[in-house]
A and B are shown apart, each in its own frame.
Chain A
Amino acid sequence: MTAFGAMELDAALPRLRAGDPAAQEALYRAFEPQVYNLARRICRTTEDAEDVLQETFIEVFRSIGRFRGDGSIWAWVRTIASSKALMKLRRNKYRDTDELFEEAAPMKRDDAALRMDLEAAMERLSPTSRAVVWLHDVEGYTHEEIGSMMEKTASFSKSQLARAHTRLRGWLGEEVAV
């Protein structure tokens, strides 16, 4: 992970606020992989993820004046990226077809290749469940934060997470590593 350290940020912040293209590019390069990865893990298509990447940085540079600089810049950028990715899900109305999505292409339990492929299993989850798993288990957001970002409750996030892990468990047919 490319760090955009506190010292670098202190130096870059006034230039970012002034709209300096070189400073913007440095920030973009520093966080492009993380933002895209987060977006791609949540969105269904690479095109959607690229849109989220672009929308995130447009928002970051537009509102950099509101970033106070006392917290982690990555945490701030990540919140914007998560919000954009979830907004993309809502706009595409994936949520309405969650059940259909998971049931449309059932995975064969005895398919060894798929059983071992966590990425394929994640892709098979409904977009909402996948987003909750990624935001909670990988990005470290709390259920309260995820519920708020999704305009739902913390309980909704909890039940989506449990449901997703039940499905992943079934699809992956995991053995405990010794």
Chain B
Amino acid sequence: MNHLTMEQLVALREPSTEPGSHAARQHLGSCPACRAELDRLHQRVARLRALPTLRPARNRFNAVRGHLVADRRRKRVRWAGLGGLALAASLALFAVVRPAPAPRGAAEAALSNELIETITRSQQLERALVAISPENRVLDSRTATITGRLEDRLQLVDRDLQAAGLMNEQGRLIEQLRLWRERVGLLDALVDVHVTRASYAGL
């Protein structure tokens, strides 16, 4: 019999009996060269196991925590904010498109059009953010702090938007437009942070 191949030597270390292992063991008993090769294999594995434990240069716990905190904030924003936001958006759109009791001026019509465009833009950014799936991305602690602040501000804007929907007609349009613009700015920044500063965790 020829000397054992590395595949056969490696297989001899397995607990299960593979086809051909009996013949391989018999050969091993009569072949000093193959026994020496198996010894080398055992020693190599022992040396591998004895390699020193490598340690990270940086503490990543804060980044992990930052990510988990951002996760919670995001869930809060989604569950608490988006429900109300949908309501705010529909109220705003209703206010803009419902039949006007009196002929509207050109300035008011322009404001209404801008509001519709801003809400549409906000919805596009919201969809882009969902497509990015921020919960599956890794953030360093600084970026996690930035996204946390943006999400906090977004939550406040959403709350104000709901309040603005209950305002009397005078001034409501201007206030809603201001808030929706702010919302678009915040969402734009969030998308930008996730696209440029995060990497996929691949979850």
- Complexed CA–CA distance, A166 and B7 (Å): 9
Question: What are the residues of chain B within 8 A of A59 when measuring CB–CB?
Answer: 201, 203
Q: Which residues of B contact A161 (CB under 8 A)?
A: 10
* Cβ contact within 8 Å between B202 and A58: no
Give the interface size bracket for A toward B: 35 or more
| B114 CB within 8 Å of chain A | no
* Consensus secondary structure, chain A interface: helix
Expressed in whole angstroms, the minimum distance between the Cβ of A91 and any Cβ of chain B is: 6
Q: Looking across the interface, which residue of chain A has its beta carbon closest to that of B18?
A: A158
Stretch at the interface among B43-51, B76-84, B150-158, B188-196: B43-51
Stretch among B62-70, B89-97, B159-167 lining the A interface = B62-70
Bound Cα distance from A136 to B154, whole angstroms:
48
CB–CB B56/A50 < 8 A: yes
A87 within 8 A of B: yes
State A84–B36 Cα separation when bound (angstroms): 37
CA A91 to CA B56, docked complex, whole Å: 22
Does B54 make an interface contact (CB < 8 A)? Answer: yes
Q: Are A137 and B138 in contact (CB under 8 A)?
A: no
A165 touches B44 (CB 8 A): yes
Residue of A nearest to B55 (CB): A33
Q: Does A28 reach chain B (CB closer than 8 Å)?
A: yes
Assess whether B65 is in contact with A50, with CB atoms less than 8 Å apart: no
- What chain A residues lie within 8 Å of B116 (beta carbons)? none
Pick the contact of B202: A84, A158, A163 (CB < 8 A): A84
Is the pair A174, B43 in contact by a Cβ cutoff of 8 Å?
yes
What count of chain B residues pass the 8 Å CB interface test? 40
A residues in contact with B47, CB < 8 Å: 118
CA distance A51 to B7 in the complex (A): 34
How far apart are the CA atoms of A94 and B85 in the complex, in Å? Answer: 45
In the assembled complex, the Cα of A21 lies from the Cα of B26 at a distance in Å of 58
Which of B44, B64, B202 touches A118 (beta carbons < 8 Å)? Answer: B44
Q: Does A109 contact B (CB under 8 A)?
A: no
Taking CB as reference atom, which chain A residue is nearest B51? A119
**Which chain A residue shows the least CB distance to B202?**
A87
Query: B14: which A residues are within 8 A, CB to CB?
Result: 143
Task: Please list the residues of chain B having a beta carbon within 8 angstroms of any beta carbon in chain A.
Answer: 5-7, 9-11, 14, 36-37, 39-41, 43-45, 47-49, 51, 53-58, 60-61, 63-65, 67-68, 71-72, 138, 199-203
Given contacts A174-B43, A176-B40, 16 further A-B contacts (CB under 8 A): A25-B61, A36-B56, A49-B54, A55-B201, A58-B203, A118-B47, A122-B48, A137-B48, A162-B10, A165-B10, A166-B6, A168-B44, A169-B6, A169-B40, A174-B40, A176-B36
Chain A residues within 8 Å of B, Cβ to Cβ: 1, 19, 21, 24-25, 28-29, 32-34, 36-37, 40-41, 46, 49-51, 53-55, 57-59, 61-62, 84, 87-88, 91, 118-119, 122, 133-134, 137-138, 143, 158-159, 161-163, 165-166, 168-169, 172, 174, 176-177
In the assembled complex, 11 residue pairs joining A and B whose CB atoms fall closer than 8 Å, in A order, are: A19-B72, A33-B54, A36-B54, A55-B138, A87-B202, A118-B44, A118-B48, A162-B9, A165-B6, A176-B40, A176-B43
